[in-house]
Amino acid sequence: MQITYQGKPTETAAGTLAAFLAEQNFASETIVLELNGQIRGKEHDLGATALREGDVLNVFRIVGGG
């Protein structure tokens, strides 16, 4: 299926957000997701959140420092 990921058309076979993150080698503890304009944080079950054709996904990595 095709989704828009970070502003670019992207093909994926992933059926869930968790599967897509695994494809992209992201650790879910260090990111925040925006799916179709809605924030998806740690409180959401990413394994149960389906990806659909045409979804728009942005991933933001949390970085600490000092």
Range of the domain at 56: 2-61
Whether 66 is covered by a domain: the verdict is no
Number of domains composing the chain: 1
Cα dihedral across residues 45, 22, 16, 54: positive or negative? positive
Residues contacting residue 45 through CB under 8 Å, at least 6 positions apart: none
In a domain, 53, yes or no: yes
* CATH code, domain with 37: 3.10.20.30
| 11 found inside a domain | yes
Could you report the per-residue pLDDT of 3-50, keeping only the tens digit for each?
A: 999 999 999 999 999 999 999 988 767 788 999 999 987 667 888 899
Q: Say what the pTM is.
A: 0.86
